[in-house]
Structure 1
Amino acid sequence: MADNPLLPEPGGRRVFVALGDSFTEGVGDRSRRLPNGVRGWADRVAERLAKAEPGWEYANLAIRSKRLRHIIAEQLEPALAMEPALITLYAGGNDILDLGTDIQALLKDYEFLVARLAASGATVVLFTGFDVRVSPLLEPLKKRNAVYNRRVREVAARYEAVLVDYWCFDAFYDPRMWDSDRLHMSKAGHKYLAGQVLDHLGVPHKIKSKDWEPPAKLGLREWERRQRRWIRDWVLPLFGRKLRGVTLGDQLGPRWPEPVRVPRKGGLKKLLPE
């Protein structure tokens, strides 16, 4: 990694800071021992960075349900204060799901955030959003997502950020890459994305894609049963929270609020008490 222009030279400060919402927090990749009960792609990237080049520190400020305005207000300045060499950002997905969002105002704020991060001198990694085919009810949001992705690509080029074009990953058309809520990646999805981020950064790793048999076709009765369960377990509670003005992240803090030295062996779990 010493000759990698995207990462610091040997002896330089190696701090990786991850910003965002549930996508970066790691929701869907459950781990009882780790903070907030999840692991996620960012933890996996941090661990591979440390294996390839000892001395990396890692902070993850992402919290589920956060909107872009929250990320700017709560995560931007703490991240810059850490003087990171590497920053990842995914933000705006929750705003897109809010029906009252002004998409142009959102994208203006998004560019403001990227500009601040890029001005720090860190390598900045950005992500487009995937076209999650959850339900025909959400099809009207597809156009908004396309506008968001187009602007993310433009902003990435303007500020010379690394773009992980999540929209183009065909692997995520397999339902097994998604958690039971159909909106967050499963463990397999997080592992796959970690591999993609590492590839974009030129960091060696041994993460392999799942070699699955094609998913079994569901009969009508089983499809209806799963739809009813999904609506009961995920859709109705989601709308209930929106009506009450609460989110799943209201009582949570960042998983790794301060940079931690990532162990080269054993991963981040080595930092936790037995």
Structure 2
Amino acid sequence: MDFSARYVALGDSFTEGVGDPDPARPNGVRGWADRVAEQLGRDNDSFGYANLAIRGRKLRQIIAEQVDAAVALQPTLVTIYAGANDIFRPKVDIDSLMEDYDAGLAALRATGAAVVLFTGFDSRSSKVFGTMRGRTAIYNELVREIADRHGASLVDYWRFGEYHDWRMWDRDRMHMSTAGHINMANRVLDVLEHERLVPTETEPGLAGGSTAVARAGRIAALRENAQWVREHAVPWVVRRVKGTSSGDGLSPRYPELTRL
């Protein structure tokens, strides 16, 4: 797979890097895509990386705003994950959405770039998001068909059992923690058949996730659940009722090819 020169990452908060904070970087996050880019470009002075992902973006927004911009950068590698923010809406026509996804993938593959897709996560461990499990399974099957049709590679997030450990998740329980992003970077590097990340003493390992629910007693767990509802669940619902997004006003983190 030729991914050695220009890597462009497309998507929503998953790819932007939400849950992996780094105040020194654009939008205050790092994320698995940055980590993959750092590893791919470690011994390649000509390597360039762009990240066009913006939190809250739905699938059609990603196709409309990011695909043409990615094509203009003449990528040799593209990763794209889109659709999660559509699945969690009250109503969604998954078949229609995936037709647009298919067209976007065709445009990306026409550049000659290697393309990597993702299935959605199996949310059976979540009492809140587990209700969307059936929708995600349908979405995943269609993603697999698109990947086969266009010769794209697949990171099968649905089958990654390690993400049923709450330490892989940020305190909002919606985005991966730093540990989750590091693990996802290695999963992507595995698909690319590239050397994995080398752990460092400064990385938080599995300590960055929401561990209290997994380890606390009943009363403490109820207290944390109440706090989560106030700080994360309610604002999430309000944004959907109002038609606003956490990404409103944000720009892509790395709109042009850069070297981290």
TM-score (norm 1): 0.87
Distance 1:228 1:188, change over 3 A: same
Please list the CA deviations of residues 97-141 of structure 1 after superposition, one character each: whole Å capped at 9, or x if unmatched.
111211111111111111111111100000001123464343331
**Quick check: which has more Rg, 1 or 2?**
1
Q: What is the match of residue 20 of structure 2? A: 29
The answer to whether 1:205 aligns with 2:203 is no
Distance in 2 (alpha carbons) for counterparts of 1:94 and 1:122: 26
What secondary structure does 1:182 align onto? coil
Gaps of 5+ in 1: 9-13, 263-267, 269-274
Q: How far apart are 1:69 and its partner, in Å?
A: 1.1
Q: How many residues align?
A: 251
For 1:138, the aligned partner's letter is F
Q: What is the match of residue 121 of structure 2? A: 130
Q: What is the match of residue 60 of structure 2? A: 69
For 1:109, the aligned partner's letter is D
Q: 2:174 aligns with which of 179, 183, 190?
A: 183
Q: Which moved more, 1:109-118 or 1:56-65?
A: 109-118
What secondary structure does 1:63 align onto? coil
What secondary structure does 2:103 align onto? helix
RMSD: 1.8
Q: 1:236 aligns with which of 217, 234, 237?
A: 234
Gaps of 5+ in 2: none
Distance in 2 (alpha carbons) for counterparts of 1:85 and 1:104: 29
TM-score (norm 2): 0.91
Distance in 1 (alpha carbons) for counterparts of 2:182 and 2:75: 23
Distance in 2 (alpha carbons) for counterparts of 1:62 and 1:154: 23
Distance 1:144 1:138, change over 3 A: same
Q: How does 1:6-85 map to 2 (within 5 A)?
A: 6-8=2-4, 14-85=5-76
Contact 1:57 1:259 in 2 (8 A): yes
Q: What is the match of residue 253 of structure 1? A: 251
- Give the share of equivalent positions with the same residue, in percent: 49
For 1:220, the aligned partner's letter is R
The answer to whether 1:196 aligns with 2:187 is yes
The answer to whether 1:218 aligns with 2:209 is no
The answer to whether 1:105 aligns with 2:104 is no
Please list the CA deviations of residues 215-244 of structure 1 after superposition, one character each: whole Å capped at 9, or x if unmatched.
764321111111101101111111111222
Distance in 1 (alpha carbons) for counterparts of 2:173 and 2:198: 23
Contact 1:125 1:164 in 2 (8 A): yes
For 1:101, the aligned partner's letter is V
For 1:100, the aligned partner's letter is K
Distance in 1 (alpha carbons) for counterparts of 2:188 and 2:21: 20
